[in-house]
Structure 1
Amino acid sequence: MWRAATRPPPSVTIAVSTPLRVYVALALLVALVEQCNSFRTSTGSLNAPVEWNGAQFAGIRGIRRRRWKDVRDSCGPLAAHDDIFTTRGKTVASPFLAELVDRGVVSQATDISKLDDFIRLHESNANGAQGPVPAIYYGIDLTADFIHEGTLLQLLLLRRFLARGFNVVVVLGGGTTPVGDPSFKTRRTRAVFAASRSGAAKHNAILDRAATCASVAKENYNGILDIVKKLMTRELKTDQGDVIRPSLAFASEMSEADAAQVTSSSYNVVILDNSDLYNRVTLTEYLNTVASNMSVGRMLSRDCIRSRLLVGEDGATALRRANMDLAEFMYMSLQAMDFVHVASRFNAVIQLGGSDQMGNIMSGVELASSLSGLGKQVFGITTPLLQTRSGEKISKSSGECMLRIRAETPALSLWSHLRNVDDEVVASYLQLLTLVPRSRIQDTMAAHVNESKVLLADELTTAVFGRECTEAIHKHWLSADIAHVANSAEGCSPEDYQSFERFVECVPSVTVTADELASGIPFGALLDRVRTPQLVSGLFYSNRRAIREGTCRINGRVETRVDYRVTSDDLLRVSCADGRVTEHIALQFGKRQLYFAILKKA
């Protein structure tokens, strides 16, 4: 007997003279009502897998019908992803994976024992292995033109996989960013709206007229691409002790032969804009390959979606549900499609993300498992979310002050930012973001927290910019009195001048012209020019207030007048015996933040 939590479909009486097409239409209507109460099994698998033909799938078979009560119950209280996939207390044999787990870098994994077996097999075959080289995939949204510490953690982890002979696939969210990831959010963020631009008008087949469509701002794409290229193509030391520079390639420029070449060798970084993929996928392909192989019940049961829909609860009853449109709901399927695509084309068998992405990652793992033609098991791993002092996730949309990390970010900005992090997060940052042995972390934390902060700043500055920048910062800033950079110096040796030039490149600076200095630049305005681009929001300590309180300096001299005009009289001159000259003004905000105003050469 048919039973459901909702009312059964109304009975239908049809006259003998009713045309056949009406019978068909009514039969379809009844079938549609029944299908609304029909979902796949809770595992998301099919009774009979579909056939893989390399590009799309023939269809689906064996969908098991379920009563709505079963579906409703499946969306009931579930264990948090953190409890299901946690790596805490798990023992692994791979030294590499064990180190990541012990340090807390990998906090969740979809199948830790099989992942351990897979990585151990790769490690044992690293020298002259046959078959395609495995890759790890990571996606970045394009809601801003910079990254923050959380993204930096994951990019540095990608480099660790690179050093062990993996390839890396970085997916830039040109197609998914305008949709917006609804995971654990109450609404679309302002960052999503700000990142989207109305593209050129194109013919819209649905509307049968020209219409604009949202696309990612070009500056966001270029900004993220530049920092990814800078970090991922820096030289690194492999497990075998060799120093190599990873190769960079763009998926949009690859032929099938090029893709095969990438998967046959190690140390490759592939950049893929998923908007390029979406422009090639037809709606029919998406429905047959992706949509028909994903369970709505499973998607609704994800913590990331449940938190969006359930605004408040009165016992077991939801008080009301937040609005989430179909485009946002489909985001999970788009990310799953990305995973399957890079797994098929580039052998990306591991997806990396923050712990708030486990729901999306699991959808990709389940989609891959239901596609028998893929022929490989895929895995998901997540890193813990870095948090602000208030316990909020560090994100581009948060109101907390944080550093904007771009390709052109000066080394001293990163160094100073990390030197001044809260005491409570220093140990965890050292564990997650650096390769410093845990015994040394414990020793420096026991000695003094400021030593640990300097160690953190040194390690990450070296990882991002190189040892030369770290040494220049120590020589001219950390280990020197302000007079070392706040006074003129004539006739320096070429070695000393070159060292100072390298330090100048590390310092956040602004270029000023002789004409500007002739008329004078208000001190407060000059500080705004040099400081504001380094921070995500304007919620930093007021420049003008700091000037009035006597915490700002010009060339080491305290200046309390906001309207003081900086002129050519404030210029410092550093010259080399071979004729090279640098003219600059040293600006300080507090004790540890240094900026330069550099005179533009004629």
Structure 2
Amino acid sequence: MNELLKDLAWRGIIYQQTDEVGILDTLNKESISLYCGVDPTADSMHIGHLLPFLTLRRFQLSGHRPIVLVGGATGLIGDPSGKKEERKLQTLETVQYNVSCLQKQLERIFDFEGSNGAIMVNNYDWAGSMDIVTFLRDFGKHVGINYMLAKDTIATRLDTGISFTEFTYTILQAMDFFHLYENHECRMQIGGSDQWGNITTGLELIRKMQPEGAKAYGLTIPLVTKADGTKFGKTESGAIWLDPEKTSPYEFYQFWINTADADVVKYLKFFTFLPQAEIEELAKAVMDEPHLRKAQKTLAEEMTRMIHGQESLDQAIKISAALFSGDVKNLTAVEIKQGFKDVPSYTATGEEIALVDLLVDAKISPSKRQAREDITNGAVTINGERITDTAYVLTISNRIEEQFTIIRRGKKKYTLIKYS
């Protein structure tokens, strides 16, 4: 068996193949060009987008050429896959901006140099200027209505309604496969399991519009699920974005390090490029030493380094260690903004503030009597330093980079003090 396909199978990444024998035979004989695409529905991808592109990267590491497509044209239409109602159409300016943002994120994953350097494409370049008559005559003529109605993505929308715009989406994506086959010798499309209908429509176009015997293939990847049944990539605060302004590197790191034991080995297989032997060692550690969380730490480090770089990983580890130990005085203001993004905060005024008054005003302690008791009992720290003097007064010297003071009451209750 082909070593790449063997590795993908071991990782559980292969869901469906349009021609298993043909794919194996082709990959054993030659290096190919293949593509994966994403629509710019937002100005950032989230981790739910990662697995198909990381799979495409695995093909590149095995000597094949990846074509990375960001759908400037299809993003103007909207994929009906998985949707119960019509998408709200975005402006051309918004979509073009989103395209540029997603391309920058994808550039972090792929190597664009060398004999099999990745190619970045935007389907607006060939579909955006096409007139309606050309679309209907050259492409619409080759895709039957009954064929399209049989697609799950369309059939599931017939009861709730689907516009002609979204009805034609599968043809637009099929045009991408045809265009890349014709202009870049692209032999395969990979995507999530929800893209099976769009991929096979592309193969139908190639079969009808190319000379007899043209060979092209499709491969889909399983939906990523969590063992407890909740949706992967979602937290209480929302999606885990690749954009550090939407999800900070610290939050990104924390998402992965909090992975359940039941999921962590699967995620190591799916998302990291660690070899099989190392993942099996980590799987053993999950069984034998779950309290050490070696697998989770490795997963968090690998993913944060890949998406945000070593510097951001080091910063995330530093913030995590400071929050765990309570020794926060060496954090920078930037690190505090990341690590204390979701903790309660209070904006104080004045250069000097009595600690007892601040504890009450910031709702850290319910009363001055309780505040004094908390201080006397050693339950209050300022920037990691325990304070036991009930007459203590905070000054500018208690501010980290003149912006923040971190007060902790007890072991876990942090409050971020800001200054107006």
- Whichever residue aligns with residue 271 of structure 1, its letter is M
> Is 1:156 equivalent to 2:73 in the alignment?
no
CA distance in 2, matches of 1:328, 1:342: 22
Q: What secondary structure, in the 3-state scheme, does the structure 2 residue paired with 1:572 have?
A: coil
After superposition, residues 142-181 of structure 1 pair within 5 angstroms as: 142-181=40-79
CA distance in 2, matches of 1:282, 1:595: 59
- 1:228 matched to which residue of 2? 106
After superposition, residues 8-47 of structure 1 pair within 5 angstroms as: none
In structure 2, the CA distance between the partners of 1:112 and 1:296, relative to structure 1 (3 Å rule), is: same
**1:585, distance to aligned residue in structure 2 (A):** 5.4
> Is 1:364 equivalent to 2:205 in the alignment?
no
- 1:300 matched to which residue of 2? 149
- 2:389 matched to which residue of 1? none
After superposition, residues 441-590 of structure 1 pair within 5 angstroms as: 441-446=282-287, 447-448=289-290, 450-467=293-310, 469-470=312-313, 473-474=316-317, 477-478=320-321, 482-484=325-327, 486-487=328-329, 504=335, 507=338, 555-556=383-384, 568-572=396-400
Name which of 208, 216, 220 aligns with 1:382: 220
CA distance in 2, matches of 1:385, 1:546: 44
Instruction: Using structure 1 for the length normalisation, give the TM-score.
Output: 0.54
- 1:212 matched to which residue of 2? none
Name which of 136, 149, 156 aligns with 1:287: 136
- Whichever residue aligns with residue 154 of structure 2, its letter is I
In structure 2, the CA distance between the partners of 1:411 and 1:395, relative to structure 1 (3 Å rule), is: closer
CA distance in 2, matches of 1:96, 1:593: 49
CA distance in 1, matches of 2:9, 2:59: 14
Checking the alignment, whether the CA contact within 8 Å between 1:337 and 1:364 is kept in structure 2 is: yes
Q: What secondary structure, in the 3-state scheme, does the structure 2 residue paired with 1:342 have?
A: helix
> Is 1:274 equivalent to 2:123 in the alignment?
yes
Q: What secondary structure, in the 3-state scheme, does the structure 1 residue paired with 2:72 have?
A: coil
Q: What secondary structure, in the 3-state scheme, does the structure 2 residue paired with 1:349 have?
A: strand
- Whichever residue aligns with residue 223 of structure 1, its letter is C
- Whichever residue aligns with residue 8 of structure 2, its letter is L
CA distance in 2, matches of 1:140, 1:417: 23
In structure 2, the CA distance between the partners of 1:458 and 1:395, relative to structure 1 (3 Å rule), is: closer
In structure 2, the CA distance between the partners of 1:360 and 1:596, relative to structure 1 (3 Å rule), is: farther
Q: What secondary structure, in the 3-state scheme, does the structure 2 residue paired with 1:404 have?
A: coil
Fraction of identical pairs, as percent: 25
In structure 2, the CA distance between the partners of 1:142 and 1:154, relative to structure 1 (3 Å rule), is: same
Q: What secondary structure, in the 3-state scheme, does the structure 2 residue paired with 1:161 have?
A: helix
- Whichever residue aligns with residue 20 of structure 2, its letter is I
Listed one character per residue, the Cα deviations across residues 133-155 of structure 1 (whole Å, up to 9, x for unaligned) are x3221111112122222212222
Q: Which has the higher helix share?
A: 2
- 2:243 matched to which residue of 1? 406
CA distance in 1, matches of 2:300, 2:261: 13
Listed one character per residue, the Cα deviations across residues 160-210 of structure 1 (whole Å, up to 9, x for unaligned) are 22222222222222221232211232212xxx42x613x5xxxxxxxxxxx
Q: What secondary structure, in the 3-state scheme, does the structure 1 residue paired with 2:107 have?
A: helix
CA distance in 2, matches of 1:418, 1:149: 11
- Whichever residue aligns with residue 285 of structure 2, its letter is T
Checking the alignment, whether the CA contact within 8 Å between 2:75 and 2:95 is kept in structure 1 is: no
Name which of 97, 101, 104 aligns with 2:5: 97
**Structure 2 stretches of 5 or more lacking a match?**
342-346, 352-361, 367-373, 375-379, 387-393
Q: What secondary structure, in the 3-state scheme, does the structure 1 residue paired with 2:302 have?
A: helix
- Whichever residue aligns with residue 25 of structure 2, its letter is D
CA distance in 2, matches of 1:288, 1:229: 36
**Structure 1 stretches of 5 or more lacking a match?**
1-92, 124-133, 200-214, 234-245, 248-264, 310-320, 489-499, 511-515, 521-543, 559-565, 574-581
**1:356, distance to aligned residue in structure 2 (A):** 0.9
- Whichever residue aligns with residue 229 of structure 1, its letter is E
CA distance in 2, matches of 1:429, 1:139: 22
**1:410, distance to aligned residue in structure 2 (A):** 4.1
Listed one character per residue, the Cα deviations across residues 230-251 of structure 1 (whole Å, up to 9, x for unaligned) are 3335xxxxxxxxxxxx24xxxx
CA distance in 1, matches of 2:108, 2:414: 24
RMSD of the alignment, in Å? 4.3
CA distance in 2, matches of 1:474, 1:113: 46
In structure 2, the CA distance between the partners of 1:365 and 1:547, relative to structure 1 (3 Å rule), is: farther
Checking the alignment, whether the CA contact within 8 Å between 2:38 and 2:71 is kept in structure 1 is: yes
In structure 2, the CA distance between the partners of 1:443 and 1:283, relative to structure 1 (3 Å rule), is: same
Name which of 21, 42, 58 aligns with 1:113: 21
- 2:358 matched to which residue of 1? none
- Whichever residue aligns with residue 293 of structure 1, its letter is H
Worse overlay, 378-387 or 276-285: 276-285
**1:482, distance to aligned residue in structure 2 (A):** 3.5
Question: Computing the radius of gyration over CA atoms, which structure comes out larger, 1 or 2?
Answer: 1
**1:305, distance to aligned residue in structure 2 (A):** 2.0
**1:287, distance to aligned residue in structure 2 (A):** 2.2
- 2:268 matched to which residue of 1? 430
CA distance in 2, matches of 1:277, 1:589: 60
- 2:356 matched to which residue of 1? none
Checking the alignment, whether the CA contact within 8 Å between 2:283 and 2:295 is kept in structure 1 is: no
